[in-house]
Chain A
Amino acid sequence: MGKTLFEKIWESHIVVEKQNSPTLIYIDRHLVHEVTSPQAFDGLRQNNRKVRRPDLTIATMDHNVPTTDRTLPILDQTSSVQIKTLEKNCKDFGIKLFDIDSPNQGIVHVIGPQLGITLPGTTIVCGDSHTSTHGAFGALALGIGTSDVEHVLASQTMWLEKPKPFEIRVEGKRKNPHAVTAKDIILSIIKNIGTSGGTGTVIEYRGEGITDLSMEQRMTICNMSIEAGARAGLIAPDEKTFDYLRGREYTPKNYESLVDSWKEHLKTDNDAKFEKEFVLHIDDIAPQVSWGTNPGMTCDVTDSVPSPDEFSNGDPNQKRGAEKALDYMNLKSGTPIEDIKIDRVFIGSCTNARLEDLIEASKVIKGQKISSHVKAMVVPGSQMVKKQAEEMGLDKIFINANFEWRESGCSMCLGMNPDILSPGERCASTSNRNFEGRQGTGGQTHLVSPVMAAAAAIHGHFVDVREMDLS
């Protein structure tokens, strides 16, 4: 019987395999950031261990770096300590670090692919759940906790029970691909399969609706695999993948011979079997807006906020969850999504802060001003994205519309730095999680695509971007 892409990558990384026992797999790349690594390095020191492969370990600082003027000192002392600790750890253990002043600094999941560090067929881990992003390149990319970070630093391996392959086929063609984006596809998937629909699986996204996407759009899809509970998400590499990685700063010297081998091996065989399947038809899908407090609580922009009964289908826990979510979000069932007024707009995060995202959002706002009651910011995913955007003049478009144009980092996606919502503030956000308090205590998050966020900034409430000219 044939094998899935996931199984092929898995099998080529087995170090130890025993019957009825998890497998020890080799890790090709380990990405490190300032928040989930300090205790791991402390653990190495306490046990007199070294980093086994510093040459395969790359670090940057993204989670709590300020996004304001970087020539000024960092006022938050605890953030400053975490940043300095990472600098010291990287120096002590010989790890390459893109620090706060580096032109390569940025969100770890944005810089990996941009620098050619993320490669097809490899295993990648990072102490961050959105590591699944790198699966867009046909890599098996896993988010891990700090104990596993320490284990990988010390051994370049990790124990894993083999996840099950899950096929998600995205069929059809979007009528307006500028208005209905990769974000809307992945939110539609999570809305359908639920936030634990992918638990214990590695999703392979397939079909015309996926191969049609650019690499940056594919990253948006794979990024949110974790929001469906999956261990990882991946997409078979193709010419778009190979073109994207060609000639980047850390792309291997023997790249073309690697491409030949990838073309031959990195695909799911026709007779391979998935343990689970789901099909999404995208011909008629609408822009999505989350209304609740997890990414599965999402509906079409043209819908109204559902009632807990409608949402829960008779499941009492789901019903209670929806009631609690509506209460937290200060929303009433039956309110049209387009009537929901917003206070803040955040265009950023590892989900949607790449160059294409900024280009698409800028088309919506060009020559316009944001609504007078809205505060809006753009936080590019990396310094490289920021520079490229500035070379295209996108910064001016945003600034002229009264957006703030910031330095790169995770920023308001998770509220670790000063970029947070105040209690009761409602935000249209291009990030990945609408959990209670995620963007600041009492803050209310609606997950949307960059074009939907930009349009909400202009109008002060959600609007259907299919009615705008975005070509």
Chain B
Amino acid sequence: MKGNIIKYARDNIDTDVIIPGTYLKIHDYTELATHAMEGLDPDFHSKVKEGDFILSGKNFGCGSSREHAPIALSHSGIKAVLALSFARIFYRNSVDGAFLLPIEIGQDAYDGISEGDEISIDVSTNEIKNITKNQAYKMKPFSELIGKIIAAGGLFKYKPDQD
């Protein structure tokens, strides 16, 4: 998986800036996506490209349980969020619906990767490569079940009986 980075160098990016409450009434996900990150970065919609990744600090996705948050990012084209840590409901929602990959990174990746860098992520080797800067970092591996749900394509496609 390859893409370019949009970096928000701060902690506690909350669900209300990812998708403000007033848009939770929108059922059309394409329209919902036009408001993604509006609370924090009004230019997000115009700059995001299909396949991009977000990079941010600690506690990404804190706040509400709204699944609209990973959905809005996913329908904007975001394939993964790389963060120092995640709020658990956002993490779970991202995986459940196979909306995007929540990837926990270390300080080396957080410091090393800049806005616009081209990155490749290999979840089978847990390796993140910074193609722009010719650097490599390790991501925190997914737990066994999370890995299986991701591989299946979401909670409803995962069949535990077949384990």
Contact = CB atoms under 8 A, between A and B. Distances in A.
Indicate the member of A24, A38, A129 with the most B CB atoms within 10 Å.
A129
B65 A144 contact: yes
Q: Chain A interface secondary structure, helix, strand, loop or mixed?
A: loop
Interface string A313-335: 00001101100100000000000
B155 A147 contact: yes
Nearest to A315: B11
A326 to B, nearest CB: 13
Interface in A388-445: 414-416, 420, 433, 435-438, 441
Contacts of B62: 195-196, 229, 294
A36 B65 contact: yes
Contacts of A414: 16, 21, 64
Contacts of B20: 415, 437-438, 441
A152 B94 CA distance: 17
Interface string B16-35: 11001110111100000000
Given A35-B24, A36-B66, A318-B11, A199 B16 contact: no
Interface in A229-275: 229, 231
6 contacts: A39-B67, A128-B64, A129-B89, A147-B156, A161-B145, A317-B10
A129 B65 contact: yes
Interface in A1-60: 16, 20-22, 24, 35-36, 38-39, 43, 47
B134 interface: no
B67 A200 contact: no
B14 A294 contact: yes
Interface of B: 9-12, 14-17, 20-22, 24-27, 39-40, 57-59, 62-67, 85, 87-89, 92-93, 96-97, 143-145, 154-156, 160
A143 B160 CA distance: 23
A279 to B, nearest CB: 23
A129 B88 contact: no
A147 B97 contact: yes
Indicate the member of B14, B65, B88 with the most A CB atoms within 10 Å.
B65
A437 B39 contact: yes
A127 B156 contact: no
Nearest to A154: B156
Interface in A57-82: 63-64, 76, 78-79, 81-82
A293 B14 CA distance: 10
Contacts of A81: 25
B103 to A, nearest CB: 16
B96 A199 contact: no
B25 A317 contact: no
Contact of A321 (B10, B22, B67, B88): B10
A318 B59 CA distance: 12
A199 B9 CA distance: 20
A159 interface: yes
A151 interface: yes
A127 B67 CA distance: 9
A39 B96 CA distance: 14
A148 interface: yes
A318 B57 CA distance: 10
Contact of A436 (B17, B24, B85, B155): B17
A144 B89 contact: yes
A426 B57 CA distance: 28
A324 B17 CA distance: 13
